[in-house]
């Protein structure tokens, strides 16, 4: 049976999807976002817990009483799409056990998404930038992989919660956020938009890993400064659900 490599597990997460959730952080990410606060998840060969889907889902089932009607399990990373067989099997087993499944991804996977999306209830989609040049500037990679994942998610009609990290000098300001708004209006099934203010909580990890921090000297953002734009994007970019 396939095995997966897990960086860590958060048993009672409250910010990665609806309700109370267990968040499974998979090891490995091919992107290099300049603001990444989890560089310790990058190296797919770094020491990690190796588990089978059955072992992992047995652990997740212990927390099921806490999930209630709205919670569940979120697979995050790193980039969970880089372990597609393991991820698909875990999602399938969670679904079979009646657990709501959420995928927290930057959409930079390997291109085979059918088995994954077949068992995904909700995607937390990390939109790094809305145009290819900006994407390359922030991430150092081509936007093509993201576009392919988004097309697959749209074809599978999976609801989306969009997240976008706002970084001073990189992805902030009226012009940028207006561009983001126009882009998000081309995407269907968005239920929520979360603008995430840049913070510096992961900087110490770079020092520990001996990696230069790309955004040295950039000050954290005041979350209150994004309140207006958060409200606006949730008004102008989300599909109305009945009863909402
Ligand atoms: S996709 Fe996430 S884990 Fe990967 S480099 Fe970007 S912020 Fe870090």
Give the pLDDT score at 240: 75
Whole-number percent of the chain with pLDDT over 70: 98
Q: Which ligand 1 atom minimizes the distance to the CA of 78? A: 3
Distance (angstroms) between ligand 1 centre and the Cα of 86 equals 20
Give the pLDDT score at 8: 97
Q: Which ligand 1 atom minimizes the distance to the CA of 39? A: 8
Residue closest by Cα to atom 2 of ligand 1: 78
Distance (angstroms) between ligand 1 centre and the Cα of 33 equals 6
Give the pLDDT score at 56: 98
Average pLDDT of the residues in 15-44 = 97
* DSSP secondary structure letters along 142-185: -THHHHHHHHHHHHTT--EEEEEEE-TTTS-SHHHHHHHHHHHT
User: pLDDT tens digits for 43-80?
Assistant: 999 999 999 999 999 999 999 999 999 999 999 999 99
> What pTM value is reported for the model?
0.96
Number of domains in the chain: 1
pLDDT at residue 244 tops 50: no
Residue closest by Cα to atom 6 of ligand 1: 33
Contact 127, 143 (CB under 8 A): no
User: pLDDT tens digits for 128-143?
Assistant: 999 999 999 999 999 9
User: pLDDT tens digits for 87-126?
Assistant: 999 999 999 999 999 999 999 999 989 999 999 999 999 9
Write the CATH number for 128: 3.20.20.70
Distance (angstroms) between ligand 1 centre and the Cα of 30 equals 8
Q: What's the domain range around 219?
A: 4-242
Distance (angstroms) between ligand 1 centre and the Cα of 29 equals 6
pLDDT at residue 243 tops 60: no
- In b/e form, how buried is each residue of 68-100, taking b as 16+ CB within 10 angstroms? eeebbbbbbbbbbbbbbebbbbbbbbbbeeebb
Q: Which two tokens stand for residue 23?
A: 């968040």
Average pLDDT of the residues in 195-222 = 95
Per-chain mean pLDDT for the chain: 96
The rounded distance, in Å, linking the Cα atoms of 113 and 132 is: 22
- Mutate which of 25, 77, 167 for ligand 1 pocket (most atoms within 8 A of beta carbon): 77
What does each C-alpha distance from 85 to 1, 52, 92, 117, 238 come to in angstroms?
10, 11, 11, 12, 31
- Which residues have C-beta atoms less than 6 Å from ligand 1? 29, 31-33, 36, 38, 41, 77-79, 106
Phi then psi for residue 23, to 5 deg, are -110, 125
Report strand pairing: 4-13 vs 49-51: antiparallel
């Amino acid at each position: 049976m396939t095995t997966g490599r897990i960086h860590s597990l958060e048993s009672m997460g409250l910010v990665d999807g609806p309700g109370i959730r267990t968040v499974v952080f998979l090891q490995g990410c091919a992107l290099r976002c300049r603001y990444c606060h989890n560089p310790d998840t990058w190296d797919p060969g770094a020491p990690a817990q190796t588990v089978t889907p059955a072992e992992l889902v047995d652990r997740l089932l212990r927390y099921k009483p806490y999930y209630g009607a709205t919670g569940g399990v979120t697979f995050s990373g790193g980039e969970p799409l880089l372990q597609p067989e393991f991820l698909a099997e875990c999602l399938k087993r969670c679904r079979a056990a009646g657990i709501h499944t959420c995928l927290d991804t930057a959409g930079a996977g390997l291109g085979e998404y059918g088995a994954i999306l077949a068992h995904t209830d909700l995607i937390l989609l990390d939109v790094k930038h809305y145009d290819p040049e900006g994407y390359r500037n922030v991430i150092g990679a081509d936007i093509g992989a993201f576009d392919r994942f988004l097309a697959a998610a749209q074809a599978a009609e999976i609801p989306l919660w969009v997240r976008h990290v706002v970084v001073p000098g990189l992805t902030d300001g009226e012009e940028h956020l207006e561009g983001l708004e126009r882009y998000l209006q081309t995407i269907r099934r968005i239920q929520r938009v979360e603008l995430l203010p840049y913070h510096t909580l992961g900087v110490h990890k770079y020092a520990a890993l001996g990696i230069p921090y790309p955004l040295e000297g950039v000050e954290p953002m005041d979350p209150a400064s994004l309140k207006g734009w958060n409200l606006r994007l949730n008004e102008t970019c989300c599909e109305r659900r009945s009863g909402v």
